[in-house]
Amino acid sequence: MKLSQLAFGEVRRRLAGPGLCLQTGPFTVRVRSAIPAVAAGLALLYAEHPVAADEAFCDFHVRLFRPMGPRRWFRPQVQFAFDDLVPFKPLPLDHALPMLEWGLNWSVANHAHWYLILHAAVIERGGRAAILPAPPGSGKSTLCAGLVARGWRLLSDELALVDPETGLVHALARPVSLKNTSVELIQSWAPEAVFGPCARDTVKGTVAHMRPPADSVARMGEPARPAWVVFPRYVPGAAARLSPHPRGHALLTFAGNAFNYGLLGSRGYDALAGLIEGCACFDFEYSRLDDALAVFAALADAA
């Protein structure tokens, strides 16, 4: 059953009671929260995701709640808990949805060590995956959202889950997190896309989440073979330019921004080297999504 098939009252009941069990890629997450904005946000952004039964086995148990104390009355806050662990400081209550997304990322990155987890967006077309690693501000999520809105399949906008045994990348198909001017840009680029509310004044500025396309969610059980590593960089006014990126350097960059590379030891290195061996690596400068779309289409068509 999809979340959209569940009455909103039932979504709220489960969240406030036993928990709402959502499947996101290979993980089932039990979310508990009595905060109305969390229920509304999940119902909107995870509408296409499968819901598991109350008694289902869940990989992660997370909870969003309002901390007690006098502040509750004049500056309400929200707190994220993983089991009984509270890994973050509380945030303003209207940042509950971004906090849930960041908390889910944290849950995966800190526990799913049977994958090599890279900090990168992943999209797929024709069975081949493009991995987009990049630091914040490089336009990674904007590019990812722009391409996903034009037919590329979303695997993840934040976490590349690489199976060290097969070399395949697994999908999460969770909402794409957009920041600041990217929100309006993608809203006008893809008017049909569904967005959650804007959370303002977060540590990342204004944040809004784009719902993943239904097809990406329906196919989230399909892993993809990595074919390209593209380091995107948004440069205002720049023409779209794809240039080779040396692969040794690419490996080192990945090693530096993977979440659990150090933990996996030689297994992580072998997985990373295998991934790079099977990929063409590029730097990509762009300023217009139209140009980026054409460059990525040519990349896919040439494969």
Partner 1 sequence: MSVPEKRWRVADSHRIRVHGWEDGYTVFHGGSGDTHLLDPFTGEVLSCLLKQPMDLDELARMLAGQALAELEPEERAALEQALTALQRIHLADPCPR
Residues near partner 1 (CB under 8 A) are 246-249, 251-252, 255, 261-262, 265-266, 269-270, 273, 276-277
Min dist. Cβ of residue 269 to partner 1 (A): 4
The CA-CA-CA angle for residues 245, 285, 163, to 5°, reads: 50
Return the number of the residue (240 or 258) whose C-beta is nearest partner 1.
258
For residues 57 and 23, the answer to whether their CB atoms sit within 8 Å is no
State the CB neighbour count (10 A cutoff) for residue 298.
Answer: 11
* Residues 168, 214: Cα–Cα separation, whole Å: 22
Min dist. Cβ of residue 279 to partner 1 (A): 12
Min dist. Cβ of residue 273 to partner 1 (A): 5
Return the number of the residue (102 or 254) whose C-beta is nearest partner 1.
254
Sequence-distant (≥ 6) Cβ neighbours of residue 218 within 8 angstroms: 48
Return the number of the residue (102 or 261) whose C-beta is nearest partner 1.
261
Return the number of the residue (225 or 247) whose C-beta is nearest partner 1.
247
Return the number of the residue (277 or 290) whose C-beta is nearest partner 1.
277
Min dist. Cβ of residue 225 to partner 1 (A): 19
List C-alpha distances in Å: 280 to 80, 139, 217. 39, 20, 27
Of 275, 277, 282, nearest to 244 by C-alpha is 282
Q: Where are the alpha helices (DSSP H) in 134-221?
A: 140-148, 181-189, 214-218
Min dist. Cβ of residue 196 to partner 1 (A): 38
| Dihedral, 257, 260, 263, 268 alpha carbons, nearest 10 | -80
Of 74, 59, 7, 51, nearest to 28 by C-alpha is 59
State the CB neighbour count (10 A cutoff) for residue 271.
Answer: 22
Min dist. Cβ of residue 243 to partner 1 (A): 13
Min dist. Cβ of residue 264 to partner 1 (A): 10
Min dist. Cβ of residue 274 to partner 1 (A): 9
Q: Where are the alpha helices (DSSP H) in 175-286?
A: 181-189, 214-218, 247-257, 261-264, 266-277
List C-alpha distances in Å: 29 to 23, 56, 77, 265. 6, 10, 23, 28
Return the number of the residue (239 or 263) whose C-beta is nearest partner 1.
263
Return the number of the residue (28 or 260) whose C-beta is nearest partner 1.
260
For residues 257 and 302, the answer to whether their CB atoms sit within 8 Å is no
Return the number of the residue (54 or 277) whose C-beta is nearest partner 1.
277
For residues 97 and 105, the answer to whether their CB atoms sit within 8 Å is no
